[in-house]
Amino acid sequence: MELSKLTRQREIGIRAIYGSQNADLSDPQYDSRKVKPNSTFFAIRGFAADGHHFITTAIEKGATTIVLEDEAFLQQTSEITQIVVTNSRRALAIISEEVFGSPSSNLRLIGVTGTNGKTTTTNLIKQLCELTGEKVGLVGTLGSWIGTRFIEGTHTTPESRDLSELLATMVQEGVTTCVMEVSSHAVVLERTSGLKFDIGVFTNITQDHLDFHKDFQDYAKAKQKFFTSLDSTAIAITNADDPYGSFMVEDSEATSYSYGLHDGSAFGHADITADIQQMTLHGSTFDVRKRYNDEKAEFSTKLVGTFNVLNVLAAASALYFGAKGFSLDMLGAKAGLLEPVRGRFEQITLPSGGLGIIDYAHTPDALENLIKAVATIDKDIRRIITVFGCGGDRDRTKRPLMGKIAAELSHITIVTSDNPRNEDPHLIIEEICAGIPKEKITATTTEPDRKKAIEHALSLSGQNDVVLIAGKGHEDYQIVGNTKSHFDDKEIVLNWIKQQV
């Protein structure tokens, strides 16, 4: 595609062009190692390196067009085209989407954002669409799916160029709906700026990523930016029970609808509400009703916990309001077929007669919801033994908060490592323990070795005890320093069980 033929040229933020208006943009690259003859290289300022320093390398490898922000890096040559833009990331997103044939306009694209619940909600939407016979794509924390084909991923939301190429592949392979986790990082870093979303979903917002965002309000505004980017043809679905639910959609051009739990007053104030009828460690039953009319359906699902009722409600609302053919009756009938997501409230029966639960909960709110879900669901539970840690090189302010929550809500707490990265695991544990009330210290153990911590918790378990292993969920690795090694919480539990038989 030639520069002069871009239909969205105004959105790119071009400040100056040095060279041909007919520059070939057909191979956009942001990694100089992937540049080939006739590539277009986008100089992006990253966290570890500045792409402007790799412009000469890209030219040596054959790049014929350079897109950059800093004019100080302009090359003294007339043999290449140099495009100076306001934001290289945004330019990459918009140009990539056009170069790959605007794939987001050729399928139903659903974006889900929020602190907790993104992975579960996107997977539920994927399953519901597949149950109607659709071929569905998914992009998220666990990786990407094109129908039944899995593709490993490194980010919750990939870089814009890779995202557009992936969507183009989905279109070529017959995908009709793609559902995507949209992280706050992705919004700020313009990874989704070139895409046209048909439906946007907000799950919730609680403290997280304050190592990246300057404060909580900045984090909330990043989430809101996703909804203000939706156009007037889109549908926005928001959580009426979250304090920031209305904030997310207040400046959006999209038509907005809300979901929430029954609050005791005429089935709540949301457009779609759920009234929980029964909750056990094996599933949930709840009535879902559309506000202002008599449409109502019973949902019975394998998913556990109030937070999962909201996840199901978010997924159902997205399809009920944003897609044709999804009535409440139909969604309710399909709810029983929905499978939990790997590493999300994943249950394993223990030889002692207790229960192991593996969950990705890695924020204060998620950890609190997890422990409370177990404590309130089954009155026969004797003790809750919680194993968790906090990641290194990430938001330090949440550590004492999570220590306090775990200690106050659990009978026994074992504080261990998560992915310490380049921090000392012992110091991370100290910061977690700083939040533990004095009266709970005696019920708290520290063990930096996560394998030993998990095995210790399992050895303590007896009849009707629940061992919660939180923080890593689906992850099958642990990062210590700059080394990424195999580590799987579920594998540790299953191997321990084998040794007991």
In this structure, which topology does domain 346-500 adopt according to CATH? Protein-Tyrosine Phosphatase; Chain A (3.90.190)
Between vectors from CA 462 to CA 478 and to CA 494, what angle results, nearest 5°?
35
What is the rounded CA–CA span in Å between residue 189 and residue 187? 5
SS3 at position 1? coil
Is residue 265 scored above 70 in pLDDT? no
Q: Are 164 and 97 in contact (CB under 8 A)?
A: yes
Sign of the CA dihedral with 443 first, then 449, 450, and 456 last? negative
SS (HEC) of 363-391? CHHHHHHHHHHHHHHCCCCCCEEEEECCC
What is the rounded CA–CA span in Å between residue 321 and residue 335? 17
pLDDT in tens, 162-216: 999 999 999 999 999 999 999 988 998 999 999 999 999 999 998 655 555 467 8
Give the confidence band of 266 by pLDDT, cuts at 50, 70, 90: very low
Count other C-beta atoms under 10 Å from residue 246's C-beta: 13
pLDDT computed for residue 287 by the predictor = 95
Is residue 328 scored above 80 in pLDDT? yes
pLDDT computed for residue 211 by the predictor = 54
pLDDT in tens, 59-79: 999 999 999 999 999 999 889
* Stronger pLDDT, 269 or 465, i.e. the higher one: 465
CATH architecture label of 103-335:
3-Layer(aba) Sandwich (3.40)
pLDDT computed for residue 208 by the predictor = 56
* β 28-29/65-68 pair status: unpaired
pLDDT computed for residue 264 by the predictor = 47
What is the rounded CA–CA span in Å between residue 366 and residue 484? 25
Provide the token pair at 295: 């449409």
- Residue bearing tokens 């029966």: 349
Question: H helices within 100-244, ranges in order?
Answer: 118-130, 160-172, 184-188, 216-228
Please state the CATH superfamily assignment of the domain spanning residues 3-99 in this structure. Answer: MurE/MurF, N-terminal domain (3.40.1390.10)
pLDDT in tens, 357-405: 999 999 998 999 999 989 988 888 999 999 999 999 988 999 999 999 9
What is the rounded CA–CA span in Å between residue 3 and residue 21? 6
| Domain ranges across the chain | 3-99, 103-335, 346-500
Q: Which residues pair with 139 in a beta bridge?
A: 144, 180
pLDDT in tens, 80-98: 999 999 999 999 999 999 9
What is the rounded CA–CA span in Å between residue 4 and residue 264? 59
Q: Are 417 and 425 in contact (CB under 8 A)?
A: yes
Is residue 14 scored above 90 in pLDDT? yes
Burial environment of residue 275 by CB neighbours within 10 A (0 to 12, 13 to 18, 19 or more): middle
- Residue bearing tokens 């540790």: 492
pLDDT in tens, 440-475: 999 999 999 999 999 999 999 999 999 999 999 999
Q: Which residues pair with 108 in a beta bridge?
A: 177
For a pLDDT cut of 70, what percent of the chain falls above it? 97
Provide the token pair at 391: 């990641």
